[in-house]
Structure 1
Amino acid sequence: MSKLGNLGARLHRGEVGYDFVGNRKIWYGISILITITAIVGLAVRGLNMGIEFQGGAAFTTSKTSVSVSQARSYAEEASGHDAVVQKLGTGGLRIQVAGVDTDKADQIAEKLADDMNVEASSINAELVGPSWGEQVANKAWTGLGIFMVLVVIYLAIAFEWRMALAALVALIHDITITVGIYALVGFEVTPGTVIGLLTILGYSLYDTVVVFDSLKEQTKDLTKQTRWTYSDVANRSINSTLVRSINTTVVALLPVAGLLFIGGGVLGAGMLNDISLSLFVGLAAGAYSSIFIATPLVADLKEREPQMRSLKKRVLAKRQAAAQGDVAEGAEPVETSYDAEPEDATPAVVGPRGQRSQPAARGRGRGRPSGKRR
């Protein structure tokens, strides 16, 4: 842990780091590929909507020795519809059949009791109308739309419109990937899924806002100097908050992973699967987008401004002049690294820069017999 803390301190001071912004095209390409895969999965397989959204009946049995596959075949034979069967932690089964009414549900329950050799009273039937699921879906979409509008307005006021736009792109990126993976995995979409999707929006924005706040602070009066471009400072902001982002993401993922792999996978709690998968994928996608998508996108948008383009030209010209001056003096090219800057200086940035000029005192006393000053 001490090594991780030392690494975080060195990243914050700019002594080490990775050029996230410089390699942004790689991250854009990876994100586009993942997003396209998610969209294709969503278009081809579609979402497995639960009975809460389609309407139907859910039958819960007491502890039984009947397997999931056997129960599925019994339910499909009794109802004439596809059935979804989940093993419960109590040893019982939850059988869901979409598109059945009250009269048919009673017949299905009796037929299941005969096939499974259990008492009819031990099978609990619950009916859900499709109108209820439609109301939930409509309210979820409304809430999502209002949330995004408020987020864009707040970020535009607190930071600037470019950061608001980048955060919105990151949110859409995270939601698309999460929904696409849901389609590929085939997990059932329930109200728990909707809760998970709405919850990850806040987590997705958390790391993004932290980086944006650091970037806003470090770019004050940026055009008054000629050492760093906007992309340089953006890269420094990512590196300085990198360990913090990793720590918060890992801490958030651990309990969610416990719900997904132990609660849902081992214990067989279906509702835990629904909410934990959306949280797990959404948290991971949110951490990725805040580092690899949102901030590099802000740098791209910001450097389209005339002031930032002019600053970049001046910085690059100064670096080139410094490099040419070193070569003219016969200095051997060496790789330079960024030393920690004084606290009152412009923050150091990880990335390539020109060689430092040699001290002006080099060559003093040359040509004199003793090499000493007279």
Structure 2
Amino acid sequence: MSKLGTLGHRLHRGEVSYDFVGKRKIWYTVSIIVTIVAIVGLVVNGLKESIDFSGGAVFNTPKTSMSVSDVQSKISGDTDGRDATVQKLGNGSMRVQVAGLSTDESKKVQQEIAKDLDLPASKIDAEIVGPSWGKEITHKAVEGLIIFLVLVVIYLAIAFEWRMAVAALVALLHDLTITVGVYAIVGFEVSPGTVIGLLTILGYSLYDTVVVFDGLKEASKDITKKNTATYSEVANRSLNSTLVRSINTTVVALLPVAALLFIGGGILGAGMLNDIALALFVGLTAGAYSSIFIATPIVAELKEHEPQMKSLRKRVLAKRASEAAKAKARLAAGESPADPDDSDDRPEDDEDGAAPAVVGPGAQRTGGSDSASRPTRNQPSNRGTRGRNRPSGKRH
């Protein structure tokens, strides 16, 4: 862990970095492949709706020692020709869901299930769920999603710029598509808990993206006046400086979600926890990936197409080529690549694009890489004379 902390400090100070933006085509390819797999899984398997959306009946049995497969085989053929979903609850009881049953049909199925499991019919609780409630939830969730996306785009366009809003929207759609695709592939039921999870991950997905965008906005301020780095390089530097923070916050958020998914849902058998936890787990993971590998590279690519950024790139590359040619010429002449007597050897630009000026007596401050001359510090040395004529003794 100490090494990770040290790496985080080095990334933040820019001592080490990884070229996320420069290798964006690799990340785009990975995202496209994963998204295609998710869409294919959604088309082939479809979403398995719970009875909250399709309507039907829920039958809860008392605590039993039978397994899910035992109950599934015993009630097979006695659910009025419909598929039944069996879940073992945390208290040891069984939950049997049969979609599409009316009230009269549910009473008949209740009698059959009680007979198959050798239980009194009165010991099996039956609950009828109408499809209208689930459809209303779906309608409201879609409305909330659309309103959320519109407000996010407007806010990011005002707080940052429209390119960042577009990149954040692409990252959000990327996360939602992958989450829904995983649901279809795994075969989990889509319940109201799933809808809650999907709406929750939208905020988590935006968190890291906005943090990176805020740092990028500050770092790219007056970038065209500096001629020291291209926009993509500044974006990559901002991304590296927040990388460890993004990883840490994502891991901390995933730990309780993983406990809900693998312990609460997998071991204890709480069905609703499965629905919420899977959406959160996949969404948080996809959101961390998209904020690092998708959103920022998209912003950099869009910005690099601006005329100002194109001109900046040409100036930066020309400056570097000129410096490289001068260094090569010095080497050919047998001189040091950084000859202190060379007239072009100037102090490095600071963050504002101006070379730091050294002020001495009678000198004026000057800056900029085009300065013909620079003031030097010319102060007489008083080493060895310090305190020579200093009065001693008590004052009278």
Per the shorter chain, which TM-score range? 0.7 to 0.9
Q: Superposition pairs for residues 67-86 of structure 1, below 5 Å?
A: 67-79=67-79, 80-86=81-87
In 2, the alpha carbon distance for the partners of 1:180 and 1:100 equals 28
Aligned partner of 1:173 in structure 2 is 174
Q: Indicate the RMSD between aligned Cα atoms, in angstroms.
A: 1.7
TM score, norm. by length of structure 2: 0.83
Q: Per-residue deviation at 1:50?
A: 0.5
Corresponding position of 1:138? 139
More deviation, 283-292/113-122? 113-122
TM-score, structure 1 as length reference: 0.88
SS at match of 1:310: helix
Determine the structure 1 residue equivalent to 2:164. Answer: 163
Deviates most, 1-10 or 288-297: 1-10
Tell whether 2:24 aligns with 1:10: no
Contact persistence 2:84–2:96 (CA under 8 A) = yes
Tell me, yes or no, if structure 1 residue 318 matches structure 2 residue 319: yes
Q: How many angstroms does 1:74 deviate by?
A: 3.8
CA distance in 1, matches of 2:75, 2:271: 18
Are 2:75 and 2:116, in contact at CA under 8 Å, matched by a contact in 1? no
Kindly state the Cα deviation for residue 342 of structure 1 after the two structures are TM-superposed.
Answer: 9.6
Flag the structure with larger Rg. Answer: 2
Does 160-169 or 320-329 show the bigger shift? Answer: 320-329
Q: What is residue 338 of structure 1 aligned with on the other side?
A: none
Partner of 1:336: none
Please report how far the alpha carbon of residue 67 of structure 1 lies from its aligned counterpart in structure 2 after TM superposition.
2.4
The separation in 2 between residues aligned to 1:76 and 1:49, in whole angstroms, is 20
Equivalent residue number for residue 235 of structure 1: 236
Distance (Å, rounded) in 1 between the aligned partners of 2:75 and 2:46:
23
1:218-233 paired onto structure 2 within 5 Å: 218-233=219-234
Aligned to 1:35: 35
Counterpart Cα distance in 2 of 1:302 and 1:125? 60
What's the offset of the Cα at 1:17?
Answer: 1.1
Quote the residue 2:124 is aligned against. Answer: 123
- How many angstroms does 1:343 deviate by? 11
Q: CA deviation at 1:206?
A: 0.1
Displacement of 1:159 in angstroms is: 0.3
- The structural deviation recorded for 1:346 is 5.6
Percent pairwise identity: 69
Equivalent position of 1:51 in the other structure: 51
Q: Which runs of 5+ in 2 are unaligned?
A: 335-346, 354-396
* Counterpart-to-counterpart distance in 1, 2:352 and 2:180: 42
Residue 76 of structure 1 and its aligned partner are, at CA, apart by: 3.9
Q: In structure 1, what is the Cα distance between the partners aligned to 2:348 and 2:127?
A: 68
For 2:293 and 2:316, how far apart are their aligned partners in 1?
Answer: 24
- Cα deviation, residue 325, structure 1: 1.9
**Aligned equivalents of 2:132 and 2:237: distance in 1?**
51
1:230, distance to aligned residue in structure 2 (A): 0.3
Partner of 1:190: 191
What is the distance in 1 between the residues matched to 2:194 and 2:148?
Answer: 17
- Give a deviation string over 1:13-48, Cα, whole Å, max 9, x none: 110010000000000000000000000000001011
Q: Compute the displacement of 1:3 (Å).
A: 2.5
Aligned: 1:345 with 2:346: no
In structure 1, the gaps of 5 or more residues are 333-340, 348-374
Residue in structure 2 matched with residue 280 of structure 1 by the alignment? 281
Residue type at the aligned position of 1:199: T
Displacement of 1:2 in angstroms is 3.1
Instruction: State whether residues 260 and 272 of structure 1, in contact with CA within 8 Å, keep that contact through their aligned partners in structure 2.
Output: yes
| Change beyond 3 A, Cα 1:31–1:16 | same
Q: Which residue of 2 aligns with 1:351?
A: none
CA shift at 1:344, angstroms? 5.6
Higher relative contact order (CA 8 A, sep 6+): 1
Instruction: Give distance in 1, aligned partners of 2:75 and 2:109.
Output: 7
Letter in 1 for 2:266: G
* d(CA) in 2 for partners of 1:82, 1:49: 12
* Equivalent residues in 2 for 1:195-206, closer than 5 Å: 195-206=196-207
How many residues align structurally? Answer: 339
Distance in 2 separating the partners of 1:342 and 1:277: 51
- C-alpha distance in 2 between matches for 1:25 and 1:216: 23
For 1:35 and 1:162, locate their aligned partners in 2 and report how far apart those are by CA, in whole Å. Answer: 22
Query: Contact between 2:41 and 2:184, CA under 8 Å: does it hold in 1?
Result: yes
> Aligned residue for 2:270?
269
SS at 1:97's partner residue?
Answer: strand
Matched, 1:253 2:254: yes
The answer for the alignment partner of 2:392 in structure 1 is none
Q: How far apart are residue 114 of structure 1 and its match?
A: 1.1
Partner of 1:103: 104
